[in-house]
Structure 1
Amino acid sequence: MKSRQEQRSEETKEQILKAAGTLFAKKGFDSVSIREIAKDAGCSHTTIYLYFKDKEALLHQLSMPSLERLYKQLLQISLMDTLTPEARLKGISREYIQFCLENRNMFDVFFNAKSTRVDELEPELEINKLRLEIFALMKQVLQDCLSMPDDELLLNFSRTFYYQLNGILSTYSYLHESIPVLMKRLEPTFDLSVEILILGFKEKISQKGNE
C-alpha cells in the first residue's frame, strides 16, 4: 500500500502532466513556459523540476506511450502478408487517421513539437526517433506498393502521402459526429485517396522512365 506522501507525489505528477498537455495543445510547445505549467498545475515551478528535467521530458512523458501504441498497431498491419501492399497502406492510413482523431487535442503535439526532418539520420530526442520509425514504416509499405528503389523519389512520394493524411485530419479536426460514425462514413473516401495517390505515383515513375 502506498503511503500518503507517495500518493501525493503521484497526484502532483499527474497534475503537472495534465496542465502541460492542455497548455501545449492550446498554445504550442514552444510558447509555454515551466512557470505557466506550474501555475495551472497548482504548484511551484521548482516542484516541476523534482519530477521532470525540462519541457522536453514533459513532452516525452506525454507523447511516447501513445506513439508507441500507434507504432505497434501500424507495424502489425504492415506485416499482414495476407493483404496486398495497397490494402496494407489503406489499413495504415485508416489507423493513423483514427488515432489522430481520437487524440485530436494532442496529435499536433505528438507529431510536431520539437520535431525534426524525416531524413534526419541521427535525431537526438527519443520521441523523434519514434516519429521517424513511424514514417519509415509508412515509406516501406508505400515502396512495396510501387516496387521501386529506396531513393529520393520514394522519399518525396512518402512525404506527399504523409501530407495527404494530415490534410484529411485538418478537414475533420472539429468533429460534429462520433469517430466510429465518421470513420464508417468516410473510409471509402480515405481508401480512394490512397488509390489515387498510388496511380499518380505510378504515372510519375512511368514519366521519369521515359525521360
Structure 2
Amino acid sequence: MARKAVAQELSRERILEEARHLFVQHGYYALTMRSIAKSMGYSHGALYYHFREKAELFYALVVEDFQMLLERQKEMIRRTRLGDMAQLEKLMLEFIKFGLENPNHYEIMFMIKDPELQRYSRTEQAQCLELFATVVRSVVAKQEGGEKKMYSLPWSLFMSLHGFISYNIHFNQTYADVKRLAEQHVQYLCEGLQG
C-alpha cells in the first residue's frame, strides 16, 4: 500500500524532468539514484519503483527527448512540400527553436561528451539526422550538380545549426532572444545552397 502511494506521488515524468536537469548540471557520473531522489525529497527506493538503475533512467530521457524532436520535425514536414527550399528553411528553424527552448534536453541529446553515454543516443540521433538529410537531399536533388553534395551537405548544415544552438545555450540565450538572428542564419545557409 505504501509503495503504491509513493508511486502515485512521484510520477515517472517528474523523475525524468528532475533527473534531466541534474544530469546536465552535475554530469552523469556525479549522480546516483540516491542523490537524485534526495534532491526531490524522496528515498532512493521511490525511484527504483520506476527505474531499475541510473542507466535505465538516463536512456529513458534520451528516448523521450528524441521522440519529442522527431514528432515536431515530422509534423512540420507534413505541413510543407518535400523538396521545397521553404520546407528546409522551416525544418532548420524548428531545430534551432527546439534546441533553445529545451536546452537541457538538447544537451543530453547532442552534447554529452562521455563515449559510454553517447551510445545511448546513437540510434535516436541517427533517426533525426536521417530525417533532416532526406529533406536536404530532396532540395539538392533539384539543383544542377547536386549529386556531389548529397552526402556531405546534410552533415555540414547540421553542424552549422548545432554550433548556433550550442553557442546560444552556453550564453543562456532563449529562442525569443535570438529569433531574428536564427532566421538570418538559416536564410544565409539557404542562400548558400542556391548559389
What TM bracket, shorter-length normalisation? 0.7 to 0.9
Name which of 186, 189, 195 aligns with 1:193: 189
The answer to whether structure 1 residue 115 and structure 2 residue 118 are counterparts is: yes
Q: In the alignment, is the contact (CA less than 8 A) between 1:28 and 1:109 conserved in 2?
A: no
- Paired with 1:187 and 1:164, the residues of 2 have a C-alpha distance of 13
Q: Which amino acid aligns with 1:136?
A: E
- Paired with 1:26 and 1:93, the residues of 2 have a C-alpha distance of 27
- Paired with 1:6 and 1:50, the residues of 2 have a C-alpha distance of 9
Post-superposition offset of 1:133? 1.2
Change (3 A) 1:169 1:195: same
Q: In the alignment, is the contact (CA less than 8 A) between 1:89 and 1:142 conserved in 2?
A: yes
The answer to whether structure 1 residue 169 and structure 2 residue 172 are counterparts is: no
Amino-acid identity (%): 21
- Give the RMSD, CA atoms, in angstroms: 3.1
Post-superposition offset of 1:98? 0.3
Post-superposition offset of 1:88? 1.5
Count of matched residue positions in the alignment of Structure 1 and Structure 2 = 185
The answer to whether structure 1 residue 97 and structure 2 residue 96 are counterparts is: yes
Q: Which amino acid aligns with 1:144?
A: S
Name which of 6, 9, 31 aligns with 1:8: 6
Residue in 2 aligned with 1:139?
Answer: 133
Q: In the alignment, is the contact (CA less than 8 A) between 2:82 and 2:135 conserved in 1?
A: no
- Paired with 1:108 and 1:194, the residues of 2 have a C-alpha distance of 26
- Paired with 1:115 and 1:166, the residues of 2 have a C-alpha distance of 16
- Paired with 2:44 and 2:189, the residues of 1 have a C-alpha distance of 47
Structure 1 segment 31-180 matched on structure 2, within 5 A: 31-80=30-79, 82=81, 84-113=83-112, 114-116=117-119, 128-147=122-141, 154-173=150-169, 174-175=171-172, 179-180=175-176
Q: In the alignment, is the contact (CA less than 8 A) between 1:139 and 1:158 conserved in 2?
A: yes
Q: Which amino acid aligns with 2:58?
A: L
- Paired with 1:42 and 1:101, the residues of 2 have a C-alpha distance of 29
Q: Map Cα deviations across residues 43-92 of structure 1 (whole Å, 9 max, x no partner).
A: 33344222102223212433434432321221233345546432221111
Unpaired segments of 5 or more residues in structure 1? 117-124, 201-211
Change (3 A) 1:18 1:76: closer
Q: In the alignment, is the contact (CA less than 8 A) between 2:7 and 2:46 conserved in 1?
A: no
Q: In the alignment, is the contact (CA less than 8 A) between 1:97 and 1:165 conserved in 2?
A: yes
**TM-score using structure 1 length:** 0.70
Name the SS for the 1:53 alignment partner. coil
- Paired with 2:86 and 2:180, the residues of 1 have a C-alpha distance of 17
**TM-score using structure 2 length:** 0.75
- Paired with 2:177 and 2:51, the residues of 1 have a C-alpha distance of 39
- Paired with 2:157 and 2:81, the residues of 1 have a C-alpha distance of 23
Unpaired segments of 5 or more residues in structure 2? none
- Paired with 2:152 and 2:95, the residues of 1 have a C-alpha distance of 19
Q: Which amino acid aligns with 1:10?
A: Q
Change (3 A) 1:77 1:129: same
User: Which sits farther off after the overlay, 99-108 or 11-20?
Assistant: 11-20
